[in-house]
Structure formats: structure tokens, C-alpha cells
Amino acid sequence: MKEKAEGGNQKAEITPHASPVQPLYQLEGIKQVYNGRSVLEIDELTIHSGEILALVGPSGVGKSTLLRLLNFLEPPTEGTVTFRGHPFDGKQEMPLTNRRRVTTVFQRPFLLNRSVEANVKYGLKLRGQRDGKLQVEQALKQVGLLDLAEQKAKTLSGGEAQRVALARAIVIQPEVLLLDEPTANLDPANVALIEEIIRSLNQQQATTMVLVTHNIFQAKRLAHRVAFLLEGKIVETAVTEQFFTSPQDPRTAAFVGGEMVY
């Protein structure tokens, strides 16, 4: 009940500046081809500033590919990703300042072979910031790992490592945080912790988030809008409540209802 009320508030908050302001991301005619095989085809998708958009669907439908495009890690084969008015396609690079507004937390933490503190500080160092001790401490406090700052990243447990990865992402105060199955391998306690951090980050800093998950309950708990992908295409995008209560596409209904759609 409480979650529902919260979700309602957030939605009311984002709708006013969603339509008049230019969307944060605008994807048009996207097609991604690997070795002659098309893995992603998106005619159109907009992502608004301050929202949490969940991408759901079975594995291998192009969710992670879409995230890589949104992080400008690889250019689309066809089409354009426009971010804050800058086009990103095969020919045009995204300027570094814009690239640095976006970061991803992947399914695995991918920590550097350094101390926890050095890992969290890494993003700040890349941006030429020499002493960010306070910010690092704050980020570690936020994920509840301040007392492990001196430890080697190698020695952490899976849940701790993923929380460090999250701290490393939030320390740079990204405008957009992309989350690729961030809790897929974790125990319920860590999942709850991470979801809480994601929620508060979105509410307090208005961080835009795109969350890839195949756990539809997580999408329901966190997202303002949900997009359902199947075989590289977006089947349906809807406001979370509508997505779950009155899906427009029968395939969405089948997926939400827990039936297989393959």
C-alpha cells in the first residue's frame, strides 16, 4: 500500500515537466546488428528527465544492448540516439561532458583490483578531481560500507561488491544511472538495500534511471514506466500501474500474468 502511494506521488511529480521540456533521450529508427543478425529494432523511444524506466522481458531480447547504446558504449548500426540535443550515431561521437553524465551498474560489479576506497574514487579521478575523500565517504555511507573503505575489493562478498559498484556510480552524481540487472545474483537483504538506495537517489537527486530486469516485481516496485521487449522490439510502453493492470498488448498481458510468451 505504502509503495503504491509513493509511486503515485512520483508520477505526479514527473508529468508536469515531461511534455513541455525536451525529453532527455530520444531514440529514432534504432537498429543494432551483430554479425548480420539484428538484435534490436526500436522505431521510437523517449526517456524523460527524472523518471525510472524499467525494461523487462526474457533474456536475449536486446535489453542490455539498449543500455549500451544509452551509455554510448557502442554506436547504433542505424538510427540516432539523441541525448540532451546531441545526436549519437555511427558518425557523430557524444561529447565527453555528456558521456560523463551517464554511467552503468552492470549485473556483475567489475571492481578494479584496488581498495574499496580507490574503486569508489575512480570516477572522480577520471574527472580530474584529486581529493574527493568527503564524497567517497558519503557514497560509502549511503551503501552502508564505510567501515570497509580500506579493504581490498577482491576480498568482498558478492553483495558488498555490488554495493561498492553502486557507490562508485553515485559518487560522480550521474544525471542518468543505467542499471543492468543490478540485483540478479543477490540475496533478498541486499536486493532490498539496493532498491532502497535506487529509490532515494531518484527522489532526492532526481536521477534518471533505466533499469533492466527480468524480475517484473522489481519493475513494479521501482519504475514509473515499464517497457516490455520481445525479440529486439518494444511491444508496449506504459505507466507502471497501467502496464500491470490493463496491458494493451496480449503478449504483455501474458508476460505480466506469468505465462510464457515464446
Partner 1 sequence: MLLGLARFFGRQIAVALTYTGMGFPPVVIGLVVYLLLSRNGILGQANLPFIPQLFTPGAMIFAQSIIAVPLVAGFTMAAVLAVDAQLIQQIRSLGATPWQTAVTVLSEARVGVIIAVVAAFGRIIAEVGAVMLVGGNIEGRTRVLTTAIVLETGKGNFDLAIALGIILLSMAFVVNFVMLRLQGKNEG
Q: How far is the CB of 150 from partner 1 (least distance, A)?
A: 12
The reply to whether 10 sits near partner 1 by the rule CB under 8 A is no
d(CA 180, CA 21): 27
Residues between 177 and 196 that touch partner 1 (CB under 8 A):
178
In the complex, least distance from residue 122 CB atom to partner 1, rounded to whole angstroms: 6
Q: Alpha-carbon distance 123 to 37, whole Å?
A: 34
Q: Which of residues 83-102 bind partner 1 (CB under 8 A)?
A: 96, 99-100, 102
* Residues 176, 239, 170: CA angle, nearest 5 degrees: 20
- How near is the Cβ of 91 to partner 1 at its closest, in Å? 18
Instruction: Compare residues 123 and 159 and give the one whose CB is closer to partner 1.
Output: 123
Helices (H), 184-239: 188-205, 216-222
Site size toward partner 1, by CB under 8 A:
23
* Candidate residues 48, 168, 199, 220; the one interacting with partner 1 per rule CB under 8 A: 168
| 108 near partner 1, rule: CB under 8 A | yes
Please give the order of strands across the beta sheet that includes 86-88: 37-47, 25-34, 78-83, 86-88
Find the binding residues for partner 1 in span 63-82 (CB under 8 A). Answer: 68, 71, 73
Per CB under 8 A, the list member of 25, 83, 88, 106 interacting with partner 1 is 106
End-to-end CA distance of the chain: 33
- Write the Ramachandran bin of 101: left for phi over 0, alpha for psi from -120 to 50, otherwise beta: alpha
Q: Which residue type does 86 have?
A: H
Give the residue with the Cβ less far from partner 1, 50 or 123: 123
- The residue range among 1-9, 109-117, 133-141, 253-261 that interacts with partner 1, by the rule CB under 8 A, is 109-117
Q: 261: which 3 cell numbers?
A: 510468451
Residue 25 interacts with partner 1 (CB under 8 A): yes or no: no
User: Per-residue contact track with partner 1, 138 to 157, x per CB under 8 A?
Assistant: --------------x-----
CA distances from 190 to 155, 159, 178, 179, 185 (A): 17, 6, 18, 15, 10
Q: Do 153 and 113 form a contact (C-beta atoms < 8 A)?
A: yes
Question: 187: left (phi > 0), else alpha (psi -120 to 50), else beta?
Answer: beta
Chain positions contacting partner 1, by CB under 8 A: 68, 71, 73, 96, 99-100, 102-104, 106, 108, 110, 112-113, 122-123, 126-127, 152, 168-169, 172, 178
